[in-house]
Chain A
Amino acid sequence: MARVVVLDYGSGNLRSAERALRRVGADVEVTGDFTAAVECDALVVPGVGAYAACMEGLRAVRGDRIIGRRLAGGRPVLGICVGMQVLFDRGIEHGVETDGCAEWPGTVDRLRAEVVPHMGWNTVRAPEKSVLFAGLDPDARFYFVHSYAARTWELNPEPPMIPPLVTWADHGGPFVAAAENGPLAATQFHPEKSGDAGAQLLENWLSASV
C-alpha cells in the first residue's frame, strides 16, 4: 500500500484530502513532520486561502525544502489548489507580491472574469499523454474554487528535455488547471472534492507514483 503524507502546515480542510486518498487505497498520514514528508512514497501539498499565508505556513514546516528534496530524488509530489500555486515563482494578491517555491517559472495572479471566485464544476483540456487524466471522459468536470491562477505557462524546454504536460481550463480566459512535470504534478481544482472523476485522478496519480 502506498504511504502518502498530506502535508499539514495549518492550511484549511485536510480531512477531505485524507479521506479521498484513503478511498483510493492509500495509507495516509496527515503531518507536518519533515522526515515523514520527505521519506513517504508520495506527498500531497494542499492549500487554501491567501498565497502569502500559505507560503508562511509552508516555510514554517520547511515545506519548500521538503518539496525540493523530494524532487531531487525523483519522488512524487502533488500540489492542490494554492498548493499548486505556491510551486510557481510568485503570487500577486491585492497588489502584494509573495515569493513562491519557484519550482516552475511564472506568476499566479487574479482571474479576469465577470464572476470571481471561479467556484464550481468545470471541464478541462488535458493533453493526450496525460497520466493524471488517463481514462477520464473529456467532458468530466472537476470542482474549482479560486480567485487566482497561473494564466500562462512558461516552462517549455527544448528537446531532448521532456516538456511538461499542461492541462488548461477557462474562466474569463485560459489558465493552468493541472501540470505534470516528472515527479511534480499539481491541480488547480480539488480532486478530493470532485466526486468519482477526482477519485479516478488521484488513483491515476498514485498508480504512477509507486
Chain B
Amino acid sequence: MPVAVRVIPCLDVDAGRVVKGVNFTDLVDAGDPVALAAAYDAEGADELTFLDVTASSGDRETTYDVVRRTAEQVFIPLTVGGGVREVADIDRLLRAGADKVSINTAAIARPDFLREASHRYGAQCIVLSVDARRVPGGAEPTASGFEVTTHGGRRGTGIDAVEWAERGQELGVGEILLNSMDADGTKAGFDLPLIEMVRARVDVPLIASGGAGALEHFAPAVERGADAVLAASVFHFGQLRIGEVKDTLRGAGVVVR
C-alpha cells in the first residue's frame, strides 16, 4: 500500500482568531483556531495548515500562542505560513510546535532564503507556497502560461509559476503548496492543467489548493499528481466534511487514511 493522499483543512488566522466565515456545528467558539483544529483532527484531517494573515507584526505573538496551544492538543502535523520573512521566524514557529513552515513572498524577493532555511532546518519542514494564475491578456506571457502572484493574487510578478516551483525544489524545499488564484473561491474545481504541469517538473510532494467545491473535485487533482489536497471554506462552512471527501476519494480508488 502506498502512502495515503492527505486531506488538509486550512485556517486563516488573524491576530489569534479564525477569519473567513466559519459555520461549524458543535463548537462553542467557532473563531478559536485551537478548537477548530481539534475538531478537524477528530474528523480525520491528515494534517492542518494555519495561514497567518495578521497584518501587524506586533500581533504576531498571538500566532505563536495559537501554534503552541494547538500543538498541545492536536497530534497530527501542523504547517504554518504567512509572514515568514527570516530564519528567526521559522525558528519561532518550530519552537512553538509547528512541524512545517511555508514560505511565499519572502522567497520571491530573495530565493536564497529557501536554501538557507532548508539547510538549517531540513527540507522536510520547508514548504514553498506558490500563488499561481494564468498570465492575464496584455501582460508578457510566460513559458507555462502561469505566473507567480503576490498580495493574494492581485499582483503579478511575471515569474513563470511552474519554473518557480522547480526552482524551489532545487533550492531545497521539501514540498510545494500550489494555490491556483484563478480557481480560488470559485468552487468550480482544482486547476488541473496547473497541477499537471507542476507535477511534471517536481518530485517533492505537491499539495493542490484552490477551487474545491464538491466531493468529486478531489480525485481528479490526485489523478493529475497531487499528493495532498487542501481546502478552506468548504470545510469551515460545513459544506463538505473531511470524512466524505475521504470516502469519495476511496471510492475513486485513491488510498486515504
Contact = CB atoms under 8 A, between A and B. Distances in A.
16 contacts: A13-B94, A13-B97, A15-B97, A19-B71, A19-B72, A19-B75, A50-B119, A115-B203, A115-B204, A117-B174, A122-B1, A123-B1, A171-B3, A193-B77, A194-B75, A199-B75
Contacts of B205: 115, 117, 119-120
A146 B76 contact: no
B219 interface: no
A198 B1 CA distance: 19
Interface of B: 1-6, 41, 46, 68, 71-72, 75-77, 94-99, 119-125, 174-175, 203-205, 227-228, 257
Given A145-B99, A171-B2, 13 more contacts: A13-B94, A15-B68, A16-B71, A23-B75, A115-B203, A117-B124, A117-B174, A120-B205, A120-B227, A121-B6, A121-B46, A143-B76, A196-B75
A108 to B, nearest CB: 14
B43 to A, nearest CB: 12
Interface string A107-126: 00000001111111111000
Binding site secondary structure of chain B: loop
Contact of B94 (A12, A20, A198): A12
B124 A116 contact: no
Given A115-B227, A116-B203, A121 B257 contact: yes
Contact of A48 (B95, B119, B125, B257): B125
Q: Which of the listed residues A20, A49, A192 has the most CB atoms from chain B within 10 Å of its own CB?
A: A49
A188 B117 CA distance: 23
Q: Which of the listed residues B96, B99, B121, B122 has the most CB atoms from chain A within 10 Å of its own CB?
A: B122
A3 interface: no
Given A117-B205, A193-B76, A195-B75, A122 B125 contact: no
The 5 closest A-B pairs by CB, nearest first: A49-B122, A15-B97, A120-B3, A121-B257, A121-B4
Contacts of A145: 77, 99, 124-125, 174
Contacts of B99: 13, 16, 145, 193
A119 B41 contact: no
Nearest to A81: B124
A119 B95 contact: no
Contacts, number: 107
The size class of the interface chain A forms with chain B is 35 or more
Interface in A1-43: 12-13, 15-16, 19-20, 23
A209 interface: no
B204 A141 contact: no
Given A16-B99, A120-B205, A50 B122 contact: yes
A117 B95 contact: no
A49 B1 contact: no
Interface string A144-174: 1111000000000000000000000011000
A32 to B, nearest CB: 15
Contacts of B95: 13, 15
A104 to B, nearest CB: 22
Q: Which of the listed residues A19, A115, A122 has the most CB atoms from chain B within 10 Å of its own CB?
A: A115
Given A19-B72, A119-B174, A147 B124 contact: yes
Given A13-B94, A16-B97, A118 B75 contact: no
